[in-house]
A and B are shown apart, each in its own frame.
Chain A
Amino acid sequence: MSDSKFVVIDGSETEYREGETVLHAARRLGIEIPTLCHDDRLEPAGACRICLVEVEGSRLMQPACAFRTAPGMVVRTNTTRVDRNRQFIISLHLADTVADRDEAEDVSISRLHEYTEKYGVAEGEWQHVGSPREGRPDDENPFIAFRADRCIVCAACVRYCDEVEGVSAITLANRGGRTTIATADLRSLDHTTCEMCGGCIAVCPTGAMTEKPALFYGKPERELEKVRSTCNFCGVGCQIDINVDRNANRIVKVTSPPPGTTVNDGNLCVKGRFANDFVHHPDRLTVPLVRETDGRLREASWDEALERAVRGLQGVKETHGVDSLAFISSSRCTGEENYLLQKLARAGFGTQNIHQCAAT
């Protein structure tokens, strides 16, 4: 082992850190290494082989996602051999999945096709392989579609389901070219341990795993506008990207911001990712309603509605005393909303009768 405290990548030195992979050391130097099967939340699999780099002293190229640095190690990511391998791996996957970018990205964004463009590989140059991968076309679950023809079998979805969610609803199945992503006995996902978090969709580099509602809607993610928001199904404060079709004024789907950027680290639950169809439901209230003396509800302005509420609450306080009032906030409120409600109860009205329904 060398006395050096540095790792050299493409001629640049960076401090050696014990246990660090080549991929992470390269990142610190601003050197980008392409990855398909890798996600920082998962144990490295080294399966897609696009991240291979040359390591001095090693006959074979090594996967940057999994290979640990050592003091004095010299790595090269900018050689013709490394470049040729990247092109080879992309060509292989194009021949084994959907080569045409528009078709491949009909719902989700494909990292494979981003690399295809970046590394200048021609689509459709190699004859289609047509691996006999089994899908589950009759899977009746309402949320998650698996399209086997787009799958590069990197198993990021399987590892996510196992390592991050601890659910293990899906697995690699079969062998060789028949290898696919499956459930136990090929059952529908809703008849497995699946919690429909959709994390498999988020980690999929090619869009083989997609949101069924978005698939049926039929507009590519690239043509949607992402609106960052906070999920309002509970108080955790997960950040969500609402994918909006501006022309139709519709929410098409919700995606998670990239891991490492927000509090939820790229994760969402079934509610955050899929429970958004209420937004466009015809029964949804979109303006405040107030009750007339005859008991009927009519539309009102926010000012009028708030004025009515304030009057009612103050009336109770004056007639029966402030502790006749109690404030209960919804478990769907964010932390900030909960704070505001207790402020209203304590500072606004002067009562300690404040509760949150998730606290019981």
Chain B
Amino acid sequence: MEPKGARRESILDLLHDAGGLRPGAVGRVHLDSKVPEADVYGVATFYHLLADTTTDVFVCDGLSCRIAGCNSVMDELQARGEKARFVSCVGRCDAAPATWDRRGRPETLSPALSPSSDKHAIDLAAEDTQPYDALALARDKGADWVVAEIEGSGIQGRGGAGFPAAVKWKGVRAQAVKERYIVLNADEGEPGTFKDREVMLRRPHLVIEGLAIAAFALEALEIYIYVRGEFGAAKAALVGAVEEAKQRGDLDDRLRWHFVDGHGAYICGEETALLEALEGRRGMPRMKPPFPVESGFRGKPTLIQNVETIACVPAILRNGGAWFRGLGRTAPGSKLYCMSGHVTRPGVYEAPLGVSMRELLELAGGAVGTVKAFSPGGASSGFLPASKLDVAMDFRSLAVEGSMLGSAGVVVLNESVDMVEASLAQAVFFEQESCGQCSPCRIGTQIIRQTLERYLASGRDPKTLAIIPEVSWGMSEASICGLGLAASLPVKSAMTWFPEEFGIG
């Protein structure tokens, strides 16, 4: 329990300034913030960029980076005497095998993306010269009109859950409490996903205009932008865009823009874990209800949206909700699809929601080798076999297939990939990124990884897999948040579609 006046929200920044969990850091942060020492220590140890003070180079061992040979990158770095370690994701699957150097290294843009088109709500390839006319339009026509257009657009949240954005906007507006917050979730970290980073780097004004519109419509004055710690350049682009827009007089002077760094924890992409991080706590997801629209940041009504979702808002207002809805094929809107793994041109491609995997492969220059399987939406979506290449890539159609669109981080696997090894890679990811709060996820992710290792060590004796069905049942029934609920999907789906590789075919 911190004393009155303690500065809880400041401790992550203070720890960062102290160089992470170095000797004496906990005591100093405690003195500065008045937050109990034990709490400061508990928070610091949760975030690996704070807890780990020795590593310089973080080598991604996500699935796309494994395929591309992250082990040889590591060998090379160690041969050079670099302090390097593996981490589960650095958000650069298009540049696999990817690394992130903490000492600073210029961040490059994705090498491939869709050519500019008026059928794209975001249109990454377009010039980012925002006139902020959508914001002007919003002010002109009023908040009710804004929300009606958002609702009419049918836009579903692009962070992974596909939750209708209008429900959140209306939810916040329905609250009696006037202290409201807008939070931008820029903690992109699902392996296979690197779209939000591109949006921030290429179209920062789109994001800022979208946030300003949301603040206007929801009568919020404070905007919190939580950017993944590894995305320094993306954050700088947003900071620059705010400055520019302010100077041009495009933004309401009363708006306060806060930038908050992530410190290495995938789970903080879960919206309530993100709120915990903003409040200076361990990023453990909250129990819901209550939902953030009612009780979010500081217990106040809060709108949390993903970068891509917010970036769609200006186009929706400018062209109308109906226009946006019409961009999609089986669901509203165009969507950024991240293509990596065994494809010729890894990159971010904007296409109608409901585009088929076959078409996406064409956009990315075709597969390298023969497609054997793919993950449609990051690690959490599990695997689908090549026979599903014609499934519509939208939230509902993929759910019907027992998978999900998630963040549309598409990872393509060719015939050279061992599905047991691929499942193991995803199992390692979830084990490393489980927050540890609830037992199904904390223990279950370890059991799945250990079981797959035992299966391989046993010379593929299917008897060693006997525990998988019960553990994955429990994880998907009893976990607190989406991480645990989805963590068993990779192995479960791999066993369903490729039983012969698990000796059960």
In the complex, the answer to whether A66 meets B436 with C-beta atoms within 8 Å is no
**In the complex, which of the residues A89, A166, A176, A184 contacts B37, with contact meaning CB atoms closer than 8 Å?**
A184
Distance (whole angstroms) from the CB of B419 to the closest CB of chain A: 23
In the complex, the answer to whether B442 meets A177 with C-beta atoms within 8 Å is yes
Interface-forming stretch among B123-131, B138-146, B471-479?
B471-479
Interface-forming stretch among B221-229, B342-350, B359-367, B445-453?
B445-453
Bound complex: CA A293 to CA B257 (Å): 87
In the complex, the answer to whether B474 meets A92 with C-beta atoms within 8 Å is yes
User: How many residues from A make CB contacts under 8 Å with B?
Assistant: 48
The 8 A CB mask of B9-47 against A (1 = contact, 0 = none) is 000000000000001001100100000111111100110
In the complex, the answer to whether A129 meets B450 with C-beta atoms within 8 Å is yes
Distance (whole angstroms) from the CB of B274 to the closest CB of chain A: 15
Question: A234 at interface (Cβ–Cβ under 8 A)?
Answer: no
> Assuming A174-B45, A193-B37, is B473 touching A88 (CB within 8 A)?
yes
Bound complex: CA A51 to CA B465 (Å): 28
In the complex, the answer to whether A182 meets B443 with C-beta atoms within 8 Å is no
Q: Which residues of chain B are near A167, meaning CB under 8 Å? A: 1
Q: Which residues of chain A are near B2, meaning CB under 8 Å? A: 168
Distance (whole angstroms) from the CB of B318 to the closest CB of chain A: 37
In the complex, the answer to whether A175 meets B480 with C-beta atoms within 8 Å is no
Q: Which residues of chain A are near B446, meaning CB under 8 Å? A: 96, 129, 131, 177
Q: Which residues of chain B are near A177, meaning CB under 8 Å? A: 431, 434, 436, 442-443, 445-446
Interface-forming stretch among A41-49, A316-324, A331-339?
A41-49
Q: Which residues of chain A are near B41, meaning CB under 8 Å? A: 171, 173, 182-185
Bound complex: CA A60 to CA B474 (Å): 11
> Assuming A85-B474, A92-B474, A173-B42, is B287 touching A179 (CB within 8 A)?
no
Question: B470 at interface (Cβ–Cβ under 8 A)?
Answer: yes
Question: A63 at interface (Cβ–Cβ under 8 A)?
Answer: yes
In the complex, the answer to whether A127 meets B450 with C-beta atoms within 8 Å is yes
> Assuming A47-B438, A171-B38, is B473 touching A185 (CB within 8 A)?
no
Question: B435 at interface (Cβ–Cβ under 8 A)?
Answer: yes
Q: Which residues of chain A are near B454, meaning CB under 8 Å? A: 127
In the complex, the answer to whether A129 meets B436 with C-beta atoms within 8 Å is no
In the complex, the answer to whether B443 meets A96 with C-beta atoms within 8 Å is yes
> Assuming A52-B478, A175-B265, is B440 touching A89 (CB within 8 A)?
yes
**What residue in chain A is nearest B35 (Cβ atoms)?**
A168
Q: Which residues of chain A are near B477, meaning CB under 8 Å? A: 52, 60-61, 81, 85, 88
Question: A170 at interface (Cβ–Cβ under 8 A)?
Answer: yes
Distance (whole angstroms) from the CB of A90 to the closest CB of chain B: 10
Instruction: State the majority secondary structure of interface residues on B.
Output: helix
Question: A299 at interface (Cβ–Cβ under 8 A)?
Answer: no
Question: A169 at interface (Cβ–Cβ under 8 A)?
Answer: yes
In the complex, the answer to whether B478 meets A85 with C-beta atoms within 8 Å is yes
Question: A241 at interface (Cβ–Cβ under 8 A)?
Answer: no
Question: A244 at interface (Cβ–Cβ under 8 A)?
Answer: no
In the complex, the answer to whether B474 meets A88 with C-beta atoms within 8 Å is yes
**What residue in chain B is nearest A125 (Cβ atoms)?**
B467
- Tell me the residues in window 387-425 of chain B with beta carbons closer than 8 Å to chain A beta carbons: none
Bound complex: CA A336 to CA B1 (Å): 35
**What residue in chain A is nearest B38 (Cβ atoms)?**
A171
Q: Which residues of chain A are near B175, meaning CB under 8 Å? A: none
**In the complex, which of the residues B42, B432, B439 contacts A152, with contact meaning CB atoms closer than 8 Å?**
B439
Question: B377 at interface (Cβ–Cβ under 8 A)?
Answer: no
Which interface residue of A46, A174, A184 has the most chain B CB atoms within 10 A?
A184
User: How many residues from B make CB contacts under 8 Å with A?
Assistant: 47
**In the complex, which of the residues A46, A48, A192 contacts B287, with contact meaning CB atoms closer than 8 Å?**
A46
In the complex, the answer to whether B39 meets A168 with C-beta atoms within 8 Å is yes
Question: A163 at interface (Cβ–Cβ under 8 A)?
Answer: yes
Q: Which residues of chain B are near A152, meaning CB under 8 Å? A: 439
Question: A172 at interface (Cβ–Cβ under 8 A)?
Answer: yes
**What residue in chain B is nearest A171 (Cβ atoms)?**
B42
**What residue in chain A is nearest B43 (Cβ atoms)?**
A171
Question: A245 at interface (Cβ–Cβ under 8 A)?
Answer: no
Bound complex: CA A235 to CA B188 (Å): 58
> Assuming A47-B437, A81-B477, A129-B443, is B45 touching A173 (CB within 8 A)?
yes
Q: Which residues of chain A are near B149, meaning CB under 8 Å? A: none
Q: Which residues of chain A are near B447, meaning CB under 8 Å? A: 92, 95, 126, 129
In the complex, the answer to whether A168 meets B36 with C-beta atoms within 8 Å is yes
- Tell me the residues in window 162-213 of chain A with beta carbons closer than 8 Å to chain B beta carbons: 162-163, 166-179, 182-185, 192-193
Bound complex: CA A178 to CA B48 (Å): 12
Question: A38 at interface (Cβ–Cβ under 8 A)?
Answer: no
Question: A93 at interface (Cβ–Cβ under 8 A)?
Answer: yes
**What residue in chain A is nearest B440 (Cβ atoms)?**
A49
Distance (whole angstroms) from the CB of B58 to the closest CB of chain A: 16
Q: Which residues of chain B are near A131, meaning CB under 8 Å? A: 442-443, 446
In the complex, the answer to whether A61 meets B36 with C-beta atoms within 8 Å is no
**What residue in chain B is nearest A50 (Cβ atoms)?**
B439
> Assuming A81-B477, A170-B38, A176-B431, is B438 touching A126 (CB within 8 A)?
no
Bound complex: CA A201 to CA B78 (Å): 46
Bound complex: CA A173 to CA B36 (Å): 14
Distance (whole angstroms) from the CB of B294 to the closest CB of chain A: 13
Bound complex: CA A162 to CA B38 (Å): 10
Bound complex: CA A176 to CA B487 (Å): 13
Question: A153 at interface (Cβ–Cβ under 8 A)?
Answer: yes
Distance (whole angstroms) from the CB of B266 to the closest CB of chain A: 10
Bound complex: CA A179 to CA B479 (Å): 16
- Tell me the residues in window 119-140 of chain A with beta carbons closer than 8 Å to chain B beta carbons: 126-127, 129, 131
- Tell me the residues in window 66-125 of chain A with beta carbons closer than 8 Å to chain B beta carbons: 66, 81, 84-85, 88-89, 91-93, 95-96
> Assuming A175-B434, A176-B432, is B443 touching A162 (CB within 8 A)?
no
**In the complex, which of the residues B1, B40, B282, B431 contacts A162, with contact meaning CB atoms closer than 8 Å?**
B1
In the complex, the answer to whether A174 meets B436 with C-beta atoms within 8 Å is yes
Bound complex: CA A179 to CA B436 (Å): 6
**What residue in chain A is nearest B441 (Cβ atoms)?**
A176
Bound complex: CA A206 to CA B265 (Å): 29
Q: Which residues of chain B are near A178, meaning CB under 8 Å? A: 436
Q: Which residues of chain A are near B39, meaning CB under 8 Å? A: 168, 171
In the complex, the answer to whether B442 meets A179 with C-beta atoms within 8 Å is yes
Q: Which residues of chain A are near B435, meaning CB under 8 Å? A: 175-176, 179
For the A-B complex with A176-B445, A182-B45 known, give 5 more contacts whose Cβ atoms are closer than 8 Å.
A48-B438, A84-B474, A163-B1, A175-B436, A179-B442
Residues of chain A whose beta carbon lies under 8 Å from any beta carbon of chain B: 44, 46-49, 52, 60-61, 63, 66, 81, 84-85, 88-89, 91-93, 95-96, 126-127, 129, 131, 152-153, 162-163, 166-179, 182-185, 192-193
Of the A-B pairs whose beta carbons lie under 8 Å apart in the complex, a sample of 10, sorted by A's number, is A46-B480, A49-B478, A61-B478, A84-B473, A92-B474, A168-B38, A171-B42, A174-B45, A184-B40, A185-B41
Residues of chain B whose beta carbon lies under 8 Å from any beta carbon of chain A: 1-2, 23, 26-27, 30, 36-42, 45-46, 48, 51, 265, 282, 287, 431-440, 442-447, 450, 454, 467, 470-471, 473-474, 477-480
Give 3 nearest A-B pairs by CB, closest first.
A179-B436, A171-B42, A184-B37
